[in-house]
Structure 1
Amino acid sequence: MPEAQKVTVEVAGRRLAVSNLDKVLYPATETTKGEVLHYYAQVAPTLLRHLGRRPVTRIRWPHGVEGPSFFEKNLPSGVPSWLPRVTLSSHGRDASAHPDRDSVTYPLVLDLADLTYLVNLASLELHVHQWQVDDDGAPRPPDRLVIDLDPGTGAGLEECARVALWARPLLADMGLTRLVPVTSGSKGMQVYAALPGTHDADDIRALAQALAQEMTAAHPDLVVWKMTKSLRPGKVLLDWSQNTAAKTTVCPYSLRGKAAPYVAAPRTWDEVEQGAAGRRFEQLLMDQVLERVAEHGDLAAELFPGG
């Protein structure tokens, strides 16, 4: 097997070897690894804010999206010593005192060098918790609530948009007014709500579950809160469980490992209203997202204090 072609680049003050830049990772669009690295470099000033100090779970496609993939939580072997990391128990608690006991050492992605290193390993998808770690590596209370809208067979983004609009005033009634809709880059979408960071994850999960149950009762023809597959055709699952401390959700601005380089893309509420009315509302590709960031900035800025 020929040795992988490598190029040395300087990124955020570090020299990194990136390889196989011409390798096609998305055959349907002939999108190469070099183009993927370029996307992440261009979107990094926006994406890094959303990654924050959140442990990052990656999904890797070493041979492109038509090949096998795997989830990776732990740091891979051979990782450089400068890459930030945090050791947590499998339940999300600080495990630095006993790292050998049911623990995971996650990377943190704090600058472009960290991001480039992981993306060079064909980490197309970046998934994060709804909480960050403090400077000592201990989990903080969640600073976001997320409702994940997953359409069953026969439903799609139009139905998700309708459910998102129903959820919006209910979240506002709970005092959650800094809300951001995000099309997932896959089938459905998410609605994020900024939190003050004063409640633990169990409380937030219970709040999301109660919201899902309330919406199912109000709209039983379209919303379901249980994951039972037989209940889901033609309906939208309001997945409250993404707020469980151990769960992760794809990070806004992350690529997805789908047939084409779609992105988990923040949207405007006007776009969601158009989608709910049956007008054009589609998942966005990486070039479209870069154009939107250049024109509008971060459409998910509401998730941060001060917007």
Structure 2
Amino acid sequence: MVRFAPGTGQRFLVTVDTEEEFDWTKPLTRAAHRVDTVSRLRKFQQFCEGYGVVPIYLIDYPVAMSELAGELLRGAVAEGRAEVGVQLHPWVNPPFEEDVNQFNSFSGNLPYELERAKFRKLYDAIATNFGTAPLIYRAGRYGIGPNTASILREAGLAIDTSVRSGFDYSAHGGPDYKDLPLEPWWVGQKGQLMELPLTTVFTGPLRRYARWLYPQLGRIDRLRGVFARLGLLERIPLTPEGVRVDEALRATQIAIDDGLPVLVLSFHSPSLCPGHTPYVRSEEDLDLLYDWWRKIFELMLARGVQPGSVQQIMQTAELA
């Protein structure tokens, strides 16, 4: 496990899956997408800066090729007010050699040479458009595979944040993360590549049994919902997408009380504009999203949990 220098304290990271807009209800396609919501990044960046938060934009290929995205974020990145990382959506990321289907949408399922070629194409585009070499990675759909770590190490990336602890995507051809911890750990040799999983908290009196019990509940239709409504056991990821602010505040308190060294929050950039994700359909929904972030930031700061960044995480991780 990763240990941090004395006095570091608890930190939180805001990660933004910065990606193209597409219809989430339809099959994936190489062509049916746009990047109109990139313009909304300006307001979110200003909002974060008001709280001293350094958002980490995990950028996929259509956004990496957007001149507007570069114009909006390049200055903030250069001044340390924002950071950029890599997010690989293989179906819209050249070279295009694979069929577009659910299995291949998890980039870790691709052959090594193809996964590496797609990653390098995206990495170079981000470095060119945003003026800096990215140091953090998230696989689209959280889809890392057996070759991903070696590809990231070769490129000199410091952190992977693809693991979504407490979730299992194997039924759809993806990875199984249900038994992995929330605390960061080293992948292979200490100091080479850190895994910084997204934060998901189990709440309720049965939470100590969650790693075993929650997968069992999933075998019976709607049983997880019954346990959640009764307050017995609930899985709460730290995201404004599909998670009410009262639920997120409760989960955040638990994560802080448990002494989690880094809390990793996330959402998708198209949610910054109504009508592009299932979570934000109206201006009222958008107001609620910003209110969600406002209340979470205020709670973190009130509890002494400070905003973090990739640079800060790297500098405070103990290598000895």
What's the TM-score once normalised by structure 1's chain length? Answer: 0.31
What's the TM-score once normalised by structure 2's chain length? Answer: 0.30
Q: Kindly indicate which of the two structures has a greater share of residues assigned to strand.
A: 1
Q: Tell me which of the two structures has the higher relative contact order, counting C-alpha pairs closer than 8 angstroms and 6 or more residues apart.
A: 2
